[in-house]
Amino acid sequence: MKISKTFYWEMGHRLLFHTGKCINVHGHSYRAEIIFEGEADSNGILIDFYDIKKMISPFIDKLDHSCMVYKGDVKLINALNKLNSKLFITENHPTAENIADLFLEHLKTKKIPKNITSAGVKIYETSDSFAEAYSEIRHKK
């Protein structure tokens, strides 16, 4: 059984290493699909949609209307700080692939029901372009 919940937010970024247009600061209307897989319980529920929302919404709130900036992009960090703008500094470049990994890392900090065996994330940077990442859930004994 799989279950999915979708979240939306607006966010800016730039790819410091890029040789094309993406080196410029720009924004996207992002969409994240959070996917859980496992066995439904005796009531026929894998995980409640409300519980997914409780896990993910605080993380989305940190990203929404921010600029995600790679920690090595010091010029952009300094400029955004001078403007008192909301920013989210990352260890890696803010690619769709790395954002998907960030969501998986966030999920690893949450208490996931034992009937769930894996989690996945699809990050849509545009309506027709996405990165997808999956991870097995390792439950603490």
CA–chain centroid gap for 114, Å, is 22
Give me 53's structure tokens: 């929302």
Whether residue 120 contacts residue 134, with contact meaning beta carbons closer than 8 Å, is answered with yes
- Active-site entry in 13, 67, 93, 125: 125
- Active-site entry in 18, 65, 105, 136: 65
Q: Using alpha carbons, select from 95, 105, 92, 102 the residue that is nearest to residue 125.
A: 95
Give me 94's structure tokens: 């803010």
Whether residue 56 contacts residue 7, with contact meaning beta carbons closer than 8 Å, is answered with yes
- Active-site entry in 22, 28, 97, 132: 22
Our answer to whether residue 91 is catalytic in this structure is: no
Our answer to whether residue 67 is catalytic in this structure is: no
* Active site members: 22, 65, 125
